[in-house]
Structures are given as C-alpha cells and as structure tokens.
Amino acid sequence: MNEPKSEVREALLRATVKLFAEGGTKAASTRRIAKEAGVNEVTLFRHFGKKEDLICSAMRWFADQNRVEPLPADPLDPERELVDWCREHHQRMHKLRTLIRTCMADHLEHPDRNSPTLKMPVQVNNELYEYLLRVRASGLASGTWDARSAANMLMGALFSDAMGRDAMPERFPTASDDAIAQYVGLLLSAIGAKTEEGRSAKFEVRSA
C-alpha cells in the first residue's frame, strides 16, 4: 500500500531539516534526503519541483512546528512565569543549536531560504516585549525602562547560553536552570518588578 501523500511530504521535510542542520546545503542533497525519508528521488521531485523549493518548504514547515508558547495575558508572578518560559525556550534553542548555526551561516548567501527559521527569534522577542509591557501596565514593575531593550537583554543572555554552553563551558559554570533563574532575576531587578507575593524581585550576587 502506498503511503499517504501527506506522510511522504512530512518525511521529506523532516529529512531535509535534519540533513541541512548537519551540513548545510551540500549535506542536504536530494539523494540523501530521499534515502533518509525512505523514498526515491522521483518521489521527492514529484512533491517538490527542485531542491531549492524543498529546502524553503522545509524551513517554513520547521518554523510552523516550533512556534513559541505565549506568556500569560494577565501577569501575576513575573519571576515564576518568566523563569518557566525562559527555561522552555532555552531548552528548545539548545536542542536546535546546530540548525540555528547552519541557518545563520547560510543566511548571507540565501537570505530568503532561511527567513522563516530566522524569524523565530523575532517572534520570541516580540512575545517577551509585549509581556513586559503588560507587566508594567499591571503595576508589577516600576521605574522608567525601555521594554524592547529589556527584552533584547534577556533574549541575548539566553541565546548566548544556549549556543555557547557546550562550546565554551568555562563561560557557563552554573547549571543551566540556575543560570536562567539568575538572568531573569537580573532583568526583574532592573525593571523594579514584583512577585506574586508583592515583594520586589532581587538578584543575589554570589561570589565564585
């Protein structure tokens, strides 16, 4: 019995993402993609007219499969909510770090091909930015601060940690879960945020 078209198509997309992550365009040859997906090249070209179309479709498919989870519409405890959300986002980035690196390297030569994947960090940043605006509007943070800069600061810390922890372990001596809690603590302290109990968020500086 022939496999349904949707299953074959998804197998090809999944195989393309896997091989592209491992070695970029050269590694993701149509022959290797077809073999990884368990089909022949004729089937591949029947679903996707050419290799470029397949890679672009795979990047869009991958982005759709990895949409960011929303932060609470009504913030109650920014510390708990952000730590949980940031840990999930960090785990996803760390798991996908090889693909992210490949997409960034390939972007200069093929900006359109990787745009769906590279838009994912923008969507994540926007989700955090809008959440911080809600935190301020709800009275859970004080002072004058720029929400975009605050979001960029936390996202930068998470990205650096997720992408560099395995390559430069000396830069990240603290366990990832604890480090994320510290990044969030620094941000909340900077924006004068309060927890659910009404106390101001404080970041405890620990000596090495």
Closest CA to 146 of 112, 175, 187: 187
Structure-model confidence comparison of residues 110 and 15, the more confident one: 15
CB 154 within 8 A of CB 191: no
Q: 160-172 pLDDT, tens per residue? A: 999 999 889 999 9
Rounded to 5 degrees, φ, ψ at 149 are -65, -40
Cβ neighbours around 196 below 10 Å, total: 13
Between CA 9 and CA 191 the distance in angstroms is: 47
Segments in 96-142 forming alpha helices (H) = 97-107, 111-137
Q: 118-147 pLDDT, tens per residue? A: 678 888 999 999 999 999 999 999 989 999
CA-based Rg of the chain, rounded to a whole angstrom? 21
For the chain, give the mean pLDDT. Answer: 87
Between CA 36 and CA 92 the distance in angstroms is: 23
pLDDT tier at 205, thresholds 50, 70, 90: very low
pTM for this predicted structure: 0.80
